[in-house]
Amino acid sequence: MGVPELLIIAGVIILLFGARKLPEMARSLGKSAKAFKEETKGMRGEDDEKPAAAEPQQPVQQQLPPTQPQQTNGVTPQSVEQQNKNAS
């Protein structure tokens, strides 16, 4: 893209939006870019501030010894999760 193409594009933009609105639009675009940059910097800073030791750890599930299935008149017992799923 050369200089003549850029001048044509600039001329079309001036015709479309008018010379009065261009400075206002540039200021608005600059403010938006600045706010976006600050937010992304803040998000990166939050990740860096958290020490590795302060991260929440997942609870360790203990394994229970296997139990013998109970006999209930030919009906197999359901786990609590299955009962809750069936109830809802």
Q: Tens digits of per-residue pLDDT, 60-70?
A: 666 766 666 55
The domain limits of the chain are: 22-48
| Helices and strands (H and E) in the chain: how many | 3, 0
Residue showing tokens 């976006």? 36
Asked if 36 and 44 count as a contact pair (C-beta separation under 8 A), the reply is no
**Low-confidence residues of the chain: pLDDT under 50:** none
Distance CA 12, CA 6 (A): 10
Residue 14 confidence (pLDDT): 83
Distance CA 36, CA 44 (A): 12
Residue 5 confidence (pLDDT): 93
Question: Encoding tokens for residue 49?
Answer: 């501030």
Residue 8 confidence (pLDDT): 92
pTM score above 0.75: no
Residue 49 confidence (pLDDT): 60
